Amino acid sequence: MSSTQIIDGKAIAAGLREDLAAQVTALGVQPGLAVILVGDDPASHVYVRNKIKACEKVGIKSFESRLPEKVTQAEVAAEIKAFNDNPRVHGILMQLPVPDHLNSDDLIHLIDPAKDVDGLTFINMGKLVAGDDSGMVPCTPQGSLTLIKSVEENLSGKHAVVIGRSLLFGKPMAQLLLAENCTVTTAHSRTQNLEEVCKQADILVAAVGRAKMVKGSWIKPGAIVIDVGINRQEDGKLCGDVDFTQAQGVAGAITPVPGGVGPMTIACLLKNTVAAAKA
Ligand code: NAP
């Protein structure tokens, strides 16, 4: 049994943050990130707190807008517009999910594409598909690609399988891998023989949200495995979509959960904010 490299997302993200802190010092203008948080979802509050702390550490100023659960679509829209018009704000992030009575798609598309650090507006998604690198790339796929390339720089001709086709992750991830000249398969809930599809993957990316769904026997020996899923187990601990224990000795390299993709998502958010400030 050959040994499996554990891809240390925490360390790679720390290196990226250090680099960004140096860039911010040299920039001459303080980058600003606005975070809009609607309602009382405890997980969202934790995510936002972590993002704001991470901003402070690299010298990015954060502008926080906490809105009540019952806020109207028009009120959130007005908040976005104010941030669009504020020259001290270079990036705008709306923490998802928002309460059901709000239309998150309509709100996201109000964000100035130049400040869309989540890369979710049509302009930025279109640029990604068109291969125009002037757009903002969504943070989690961007961070996942960095982790893959920390193991293997040249991905040309590799077969990449992405499980999941969400707008937030699966679709942009597939585009990024295609741009690296991978042969890309996107799998989803209607995919037949998922196990057989996964076994073809030189690069396997799982973003489903089902604990330990990908078994060790689904992994091609030596494959790079990126586990995006975050699942809470009965004992309260977090685990990914891949059975991490079973993957040992089969995968060539794998990201742990926690400590893999998660830290990279925040680091890439900071990276997009600094890039927006530079622009
Ligand atoms: P999502 O919008 O719920 O999408 C899940 C995808 O998985 C869908 O495309 C769905 O297919 C597919 N799927 C569901 N059941 C399946 C099955 N049995 N076999 C194959 N595919 C199946 O979720 P998401 O936003 O992409 O997030 C996915 C996971 O990543 C979640 O656990 C989330 O918490 C995590 N995540 C982590 C980070 C991070 O920073 N680490 C960031 C974002 C997301 P259909 O399209 O056919 O329904």
Query: Does residue 165 line the site of ligand 1, with CB under 6 A?
Result: yes
* Residue 5 known to be catalytic: no
> Do 204 and 221 meet the contact criterion of CB atoms below 8 Å apart?
no
In a domain, 267, yes or no: no
* Residue 10 known to be catalytic: no
How far is Cα 71 from Cα 140, in angstroms, rounded to an integer?
Answer: 28
The answer to whether residues 174 and 96 belong to one domain is no
Query: Does residue 208 line the site of ligand 1, with CB under 6 A?
Result: yes
* Domain span at 40: 28-114
Domain boundary residue among 114, 130, 147? 114
HSE-CB at 155 with a 13 A cutoff on CA atoms is 26
Query: Is the entire prediction scored with pTM above 0.95?
Result: yes
> Do 62 and 49 meet the contact criterion of CB atoms below 8 Å apart?
no
Ligand 1 pocket test: which of 165, 193, 204, 208 has the largest number of ligand atoms within 8 Å of its C-beta? 208
Which of 112, 115, 116, 118 is flagged as catalytic? 118
Show the tokens assigned to 258: 């926690």
> Do 4 and 257 meet the contact criterion of CB atoms below 8 Å apart?
no
- pLDDT tens for the chain, 279 residues: list them: 689 999 999 999 999 999 999 999 999 999 999 999 999 999 899 999 999 999 999 999 999 999 999 999 999 999 999 999 999 999 999 999 999 999 999 999 999 999 999 999 999 999 999 999 999 999 999 999 999 999 999 999 999 999 999 999 999 999 999 999 999 999 999 999 999 999 999 999 999 999 999 999 999 999 999 999 999 999 999 999 999 999 999 999 999 999 999 999 999 999 999 999 999
How far is Cα 166 from Cα 208, in angstroms, rounded to an integer?
Answer: 9
How far is Cα 172 from Cα 120, in angstroms, rounded to an integer?
Answer: 10
Q: What angle in degrees, to the nearest 10, is found between the helix axes of 9-27 and 261-278?
A: 20
Give the domain CATH number at 244: 3.40.50.720
Query: Does residue 189 line the site of ligand 1, with CB under 6 A?
Result: yes
Question: Atom of ligand 1 at shortest distance to CA of 191?
Answer: 20
The answer to whether residues 155 and 215 belong to one domain is yes
